Amino acid sequence: MAFIFNDENAKQEIATGKAIVIDFWAEWCGPCKSIAPIVEELAHEYEGRVLIGKYDVDEGMDLAAEYNIRNIPTLLFFKGGQLVDRNVGSTTRAVLEEKVKALL
């Protein structure tokens, strides 16, 4: 299962320097729902190597504001505590998996 990020734990996890993917989403967002199964599959597949999780923009706004999230879904990719990539909008599993592999 994908990790659940919030304003407090996201900053702590990013600061560890681990490879991290954060999916910014909302319950009412159709494209978010279409990529949700892909995010879950990748979270399971890369468990222990990449921390992959979800951040509900309706539950928290600080992190979304800090990274200038204007559209959802947006996925942010972190390595060594730094933002290294982003994907805005719905996409394919192949594209997301390639970006996850680049974090390893």
Active-site position among 10, 21, 22, 29: 29
Structure tokens at 19: 């490879």
Active-site position among 14, 20, 22, 32: 32
Helix or strand (DSSP H, E) at 32: helix 30-45
Query: Which amino acid makes up residue 16?
Result: T
- Can 29 be counted among the known catalytic residues? yes
- Can 32 be counted among the known catalytic residues? yes
HEC assignment per residue over 36-100 = HHHHHHHHHHCCCCCEEEEEECCCCCHHHHHCCCCCCCEEEEEECCEEEEEEECCCCHHHHHHHH
Catalytic residues: 29, 32
